[in-house]
């Protein structure tokens, strides 16, 4: 664990396999987020089921602290 912005405790990032991500996406346990803020890059690199970084930021206030979030970039 480490401290994040404002002293919040953050867990360390966890490496997962593509199969684990796919299963979590299918079950609704995780969000798949393209880590690029540029919408053009998002559209070019969008994976099935992924949301854009801007869409993720708009959902952030409503997400549970326990929500799994998977970021990817090309």
Domain assignment of residue 43, given as a range = 17-72
Is residue 6 very low, low, confident or very high in pLDDT (cuts 50, 70, 90)? low
Question: Residue 42 — pLDDT band, cuts 50, 70, 90?
Answer: very high
Decide if 10 is inside a domain: no
30, part of any domain: yes
User: In the predicted model, what is the mean pLDDT of the chain?
Assistant: 86
Residue 7 and residue 32 in contact, taking contact as beta carbons nearer than 8 Å: no
Per-residue pLDDT band for 20 (boundaries 50, 70, 90) equals very high
Asked whether residue 58 is assigned to any structural domain, the reply reads yes
- State how many domains the chain has: 1
In a domain? residue 66: yes
- The per-residue pLDDT for 62 is 93
Q: For the chain, give percent helix, strand, coil, nearest 5.
A: 40, 20, 40
Q: Which helix (H) or strand (E) holds 56?
A: helix 53-59
């Amino acid at each position: 664990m480490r401290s994040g912005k404002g002293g919040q405790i953050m867990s360390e990032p966890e490496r997962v396999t593509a199969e684990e991500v796919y299963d979590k996406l299918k079950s609704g346990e995780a969000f798949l987020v393209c880590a690029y803020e540029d919408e053009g890059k998002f559209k070019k690199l969008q994976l099935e089921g992924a949301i854009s970084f801007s869409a993720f930021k708009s959902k952030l206030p409503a997400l549970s602290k326990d929500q799994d979030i998977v970021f990817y970039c090309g």
